[in-house]
Structure 1
């Protein structure tokens, strides 16, 4: 019998989690002690399935166990929504965070990330997105008189061939400024970092440059600059200005010289890009900045396709847990694409899985690949 036919499509898609440190985490945090039936493996399968299918509430998650196939997959015949809620609020966020990081490590390996580092400079995009919460139910996350929310600070590995994925995340209250997380998200000198003007900080730009980190960001148009040297541009360049400059006022300025590139975006707006990299052409720097769209697409996916707008829990820990479960789902889709060398998008892979989660994995894999799986 084919090695895939013993598994359902859902089980095959979920299987990379078994290669994580889940069992070690269960033992370390004593997650299954005094637990009669809602063990962490069953809990994680059920919530990943719920997140995949955009299930809107804990009560609805509980009712999905009416399915015999889901019962078999989770080893649960039934569970109350109140038990699900307690478990979601009790499991330490570090558990789901570690599962997420273990899946990222698998993606690194499958995408030959380390090998690519030897030939090209990996590109990592940094940005944040505010996830709104109900003020009445989430008073702990209040950041305005009428609003509550948390902020997801994210670092995304960008690959031109479509394999872009998050590899580090920090969750804070929505009132936390982006600049405060930049040092946490910048930790690899082998990469080129791309981030928007929300992270503008001259002192930090100096520290990054002195420490050997490369970046490209966006400068405000009213920033005070002093041109040191203009650079000549090729005739076919889409950039209309490339200069070495000093930035800032005498009271607040950067000590290092940077490179200022001016270019028009797709809507005709003028962008001022600042970078500490001088070995690439101005057009190459502009293209690097344009790659920021990839992280916007990720946030769009998170909010639209993973139903992250509706949180099951009211506690901070429960909300953070659901965000990490959503990112686990995303990583599983990335691994499904990598493991099959599929040209299908993550959204297509997800749709095919949701259409037939309990059919033979062989059929699902064949549909993803577009040919018979040997």
Structure 2
């Protein structure tokens, strides 16, 4: 049985051990990464995973930055880098061609762990998944990342567990890739997808109901509604509309199955939301749609503090490797912050983790240096 070896070498960093503990529970079952030829791997999957987690944990902004850290930082050199080190060219080759299957397995396994560990909020509203896309700036040499003339972008299509505040699904396309086709793949039976107007699709509304997958989706104000049944609303409430309708133009794009439409007014802005959730009040439907913004908060934090969109790979394969690594790091942070502090993820606790690793490294050095030499202070490359 394989084990996730932390620490790999001589330094004992209990903080880092606690941080990666969830990996130890699943590492024995990860699909084996084998050499494609006679030469042994320069970087095992364990090495690759640790290097990528370290990249995000320390907020590195380039592969060059990471490789320098692996060569010069005592902790990184002894506990993260592969034996004998790794060159930037070899690291780039590995990221763009190996480990994707294994990283996807780790991500899915950590999602399951996190969902069993983290508290579930809004359970009275059901299993809620916010669905949205996020553009990733690319370079012109990334020919596959079509967006518009003179610009290249990729797009990640994400499913975000609102109840536990964690990402649970990811698909990658070129920047102008359609978002609607991924909704049914992101949702599981019984879950409710929360989406903005860009996801309005009358065909999807029918298909989702056939598959017992629910939705709360904002629709365009001028969408044609054929009323089947109107529900009474309180004239003093911010809810001004609640009805069962057929959406769309008859004979053109009308839904085959009825949907519920709730209209409400917030700060002078009128919202119309289509749903198949008849078990919730109109006010609860409005609350569910408001929770969609949690995925925007996640995107903002994830991009700012984990540097996930600072490219270290340019191929579709390599970019997925990088994104999975960023998601894995976030899940480890979510589990760590909850188990150690009963708190959600915060940059304060991540900075504290970095500092603890450095303090434990210095203490380890003082205890092992027979000539009482001062252990040189580590240089952290994170700009926080």
Give the TM-score band, short-chain normalised: 0.7 to 0.9
Please name the residue that 1:54 is paired with. 59
Aligned pairs for 1:42-191 within 5 A: 42-65=47-70, 66-74=72-80, 76=82, 78-111=85-118, 121-135=126-140, 137-159=141-163, 163-189=164-190, 191=191
SS state of the match for residue 87, structure 1?
A: helix
Q: Deviations over 1:321-367 (max 9, x none)?
A: 11111111110111112323522533332222233333449x9xxxx
Query: 1:1-374 residue pairs with structure 2 within 5 A?
Result: 6-21=12-27, 24-27=30-33, 29-30=34-35, 34-35=39-40, 37-65=42-70, 66-74=72-80, 76=82, 78-111=85-118, 121-135=126-140, 137-159=141-163, 163-189=164-190, 191-234=191-234, 237-250=237-250, 251-265=252-266, 267-340=267-340, 342-343=342-343, 345-360=345-360
Distance 2:207 2:298 in 1: 29
Question: Offset at 1:18?
Answer: 2.1
**What number of residue pairs does the alignment pair up?**
350
Q: Distance in 1 between matches of 2:284 and 2:203?
A: 26
Shift of 1:92: 4.0
Q: Is the 8 A contact 2:334 2:344 kept in 1?
A: no
Looking at structure 2, the residues matched to 32 and 70 of structure 1 have their Cα atoms a distance apart, in angstroms, of 28
1:263 is paired with a residue whose SS is strand
2:377 counterpart residue number: none
Which secondary structure state, in structure 2, belongs to the residue aligned with residue 35 of structure 1? coil
Give 1:210 deviation, angstroms.
Answer: 3.1
- Per the alignment, in what secondary structure is the counterpart of residue 32 of structure 2? helix
What is the DSSP-based 3-state SS (H/G/I as helix, E as strand, rest coil) of the residue aligned with 1:12?
Answer: helix
TM-score (norm 1): 0.85
The Cα shift of 1:33 comes to 7.0
Does the CA contact (< 8 Å) of 1:237 and 1:283 recur in 2?
no
After superposition, the Cα gap between the structure-2 partners of 1:224 and 1:240, relative to the gap in structure 1 and judged at 3 Å, is: same
| Cα displacement string for residues 222-280 of structure 1 (whole angstroms, at most 9, x for unaligned residues) | 21112233211246532122122221102110022221111123x53211111112221
Gapped regions of structure 2 (runs ≥ 5): 1-6, 364-384
Q: Distance in 2 between matches of 1:211 and 1:42?
A: 41
Query: In structure 2, the residue corresponding to 1:334 is in which secondary structure?
Result: helix
Return the TM-score normalized by structure 2.
0.83
Residues 1:242 and 1:91: Cα distance change in structure 2 (over 3 Å): same
Structure 1: distance between partners of 2:42 and 2:153: 33
Q: Shift of the alpha carbon at 1:291?
A: 0.4
Q: In 2, Cα distance between the equivalents of 1:356 and 1:33? A: 41
Q: RMSD of the TM alignment (CA)? A: 2.7
**Alpha-carbon distance in 2 for matches of 1:183, 1:195:** 12
Taking structure 1 as reference, are residues 93 and 104 closer, same or farther at Cα in structure 2, changes over 3 Å only? same
For structure 1, which runs of at least 5 residues remain unmatched after alignment? Answer: 364-374
- Cα distance 1:172–1:222, how it changes in 2: closer, same or farther (>3 A)? same
Change (3 A) 1:58 1:236: same
Check 1:83–1:211 CA distance in 2 against 1; reply closer, same or farther (3 A cut).
Answer: closer
How has the CA–CA distance of structure 1 residues 330 and 249 changed in structure 2, closer, same or farther, with 3 Å as cutoff? same
